[in-house]
Amino acid sequence: MMELRVLKYFLAVAREENITRAAAMLHLTQPTLSRQLMQLEEELGVQLFHRGKYRVTLTEDGMLLRRRAQELVELEEKTRREFRRDEQLRGEISIGSGDLEAMSCLSKMLGSFHQLHPQVKYQLYSGNSDNIKERIEQGLLDLGLLMEPVEISKYDFVRLPAKEQWGVLVREDSPLAAREFVTAGDLEKMPLILSRRELVLKELEHWFGERANQMEIVASGNLPYNMAILAREGIGVLLTVKLRCIYEGLRFIPLSPPIESGTVLVWKKAETFPPVLNALVNYIKNAF
């Protein structure tokens, strides 16, 4: 049976790409560490490393184990932190969010909560709604700030008052850059860069209406920053929500008719929370 101790050894070697250096860092002898790795490979029935003269690199099976081992180690560390209790509320809360305007609203809540409980720390994870829900299910995130439309029947939630305004990011030299707003007709047959989330795509197809079959999607992604870089290089027009940031060389223009998306803060149903998370959830529920 795999031990977390051995998985930590494996992660150290994967990170250092050298067994001798990893052994020194772990305060082990090199033969002891090599033996532990070989036993792990025998237990799993796969080869985890390509062993060179001066360097070791992960095989495909090794890369898969690295992802899973990292998740298990993070979960163990999170569990340990949750059981460190004293009279003063303290601990760490992990929150996942997309790049959303609603994060400003949530941040104000976290700021006021932090004034009351300064020993509480926060860990932020950026991703789209699908990534965040997956990590909540794995126990790696406590809360998730998600943009609608999104399936949340498995979660308790609070709906935030902030709305996400949809529009396009276009180059400043684009013919669209002088417009106050853009319509589906303006974007017909233009190369588009979109979110890859299925529910968001359906929402945008509904907005395009009869012109949906004329959509020419040249690129897709899960977070806006990298997609904005593609738009700046003229690869396409980025359909995205408005953010409080400036993309050099690009201009945001709202859609007409407008699209606004709601946001929800979610957490697992029927969970027994550690005190720090329970306090924050109740604080936010009372506020909204």
Q: Please, what sign has the CA dihedral across residues 28, 34, 40, 42?
A: negative
d(CA 163, CA 141): 23
Kindly state the percentage of the chain with pLDDT values over 90: 60
User: Is the pTM of the predicted complex or chain greater than 0.85?
Assistant: no
Q: Model confidence at 60, in pLDDT bands (50, 70, 90)?
A: very high
Backbone angles phi, psi at 253, to 5 degrees: -130, 125
Q: Looking at residue 85, what is its pLDDT?
A: 53
Q: Looking at residue 244, what is its pLDDT?
A: 78
Q: Model confidence at 76, in pLDDT bands (50, 70, 90)?
A: confident
Query: How far, in whole angstroms, is CA 75 from its chain's centroid?
Result: 16
- The per-residue DSSP string of 78-99 comes to HHHHHT---SS--EEEEEEE-S
Mind listing the domains of the chain with CATH numbers?
Answer: 4-76 (1.10.10.10), 91-162+263-287 (3.40.190.10), 163-260 (3.40.190.10)
* pLDDT tens digits, one per residue of 80-133: 766 655 457 889 999 999 889 899 999 999 999 999 999 999 999 998 898 999
d(CA 144, CA 161): 16
